[in-house]
Amino acid sequence: MRSLASCDDGSRSSLRIFGPKNLSKIVESKKFDCLITVPFAPWAPGVAAAYNIPCAILWIQACGAYSVYYRYFKKTNTFPEDLEDLNQTVKLPALPLLEVRDLPSFILPSSGSHLINLMVDFADCLKYAKWVLVNTFYELEPEMIDSMSGFKPDIIPIGPLVSPFLLGADQDGTLDGENLDMWKADGYCMEWLDKQARSSVVYISFGSILKSSETQVESIATALKNRGVSFLWVIRPKEIGENVDVLQEMVREGQGVVIEWGPQERILSHVAISCFVTHCGWNSTTETVTTGVPVVAYPNWIDQPLDAVLLVDVFGIGVRMKNDAVDGELKVEEVERCIDAVTVGPAAAEMRKRATELKHAARSAMAPGGSSARNLDSFIGEITTIN
């Protein structure tokens, strides 16, 4: 996604010229039964069609996000004419009433023409694809998936696409996602977690791309100090800024641990974790669903605002943390409110119960005979039949 943000129309045009040429050379070199591509190579399905290769697109966000993009670019539903007014409401099938600010950002003018045009190309390339494989499972988004039954290409939920470790099939952890991390994970945090009480640690991570402001860091740090809760915080040194003394003091006192990068699957699976303060990227969302951890949702862009709506209002496993309506800053009191709500508030037990239910549903979906396992078997069987 970082590369997408800096990919202007010139770069996109270059990829549209050289991408198909290079892919054509590959498919000419040997026989392929199927091509599976991602939305951000919208020229690939056309190449597959030219060589009579059945094509599937792997959608790496929620079905809800796919539905919004599809309905917007295919013009099957009504959207506000002025998408610059973030306060306008939008009603779409199988979703709560949204504000424009909750829509995936690649349809909003603030994203820039290069990203909007990329999604236009994606919507157009769907005519060359036979399937859309989605990183979700039916039990997580049943109403949404049912509402998309008439979409073409066919929607096939095959998730959650997480490591065998998270699905309970790899108890020793040798197949967790740590070896796929972009940066080396700090393993010390796991030793520290082993010493903490059950459901006592707040885990904070805003992913690999977003950079927190010093004000955000200060508000979160102050809230943690005021509440006296234990924490594990993934944050890079440049983001800490003037808050280094406060964090160092809490670390010295044993209240928490600060690391640059951590083995997130193992962290979320640890019994000491009480909640996850997250940016709501879909990978993190599927991981927290699969581990049964409630969330404090603090989204930023792309699909994250919609994912936050799903986590809070549809899945029922968290609360939304919002910036102040007046100055746009994150306030200490808001952080405290949200942490309290998911850990000790009157609805905390119900959120954890619901999160546990989704954890079991996720594992069942990927187990033999489960909804996603059956879908994947049918997909492979259809490829075999075609060829």
- The confidence score (pLDDT) of residue 182 equals 41
- The confidence score (pLDDT) of residue 180 equals 45
Average pLDDT over residues 62-72: 98
Distance CA 92, CA 114 (A): 25
Which structural domains are found in the chain, ordered by start?
A: 2-162+367-386 (3.40.50.2000), 177-363 (3.40.50.2000)
Average pLDDT over residues 154-173: 87
Looking at the chain, the whole-number percentage of residues with pLDDT higher than 70 is 93
Average pLDDT over residues 303-318: 98
CA-nearest of 335, 334, 383, 199 to 275 is 199
Q: How confident is the model at residue 29 (pLDDT cuts 50, 70, 90)?
A: very high
Average pLDDT over residues 289-316: 98
Higher pLDDT, 103 or 188: 103
* Res 183 pLDDT > 60: no
* Res 1 pLDDT > 50: no
- The confidence score (pLDDT) of residue 11 equals 66
pLDDT winner (highest mean) among 62-66, 178-182, 205-209: 62-66
Count of positions (residues) in the chain: 387
The residue with tokens 């699969």 is 290
Average pLDDT over residues 280-299: 98
Mean pLDDT, the chain, whole residue set: 92
Give CA separation, 53 vs 18, 175, 231, 384, in Å.
Answer: 20, 32, 50, 12
* Range of weakest confidence among 186-200, 273-287, 362-376: 186-200
Give CA separation, 194 vs 200, 233, 323, in Å.
Answer: 11, 16, 34
- The confidence score (pLDDT) of residue 300 equals 93
Phi, psi of 300 (to 5 degrees): -125, -60
Higher pLDDT, 57 or 1: 57
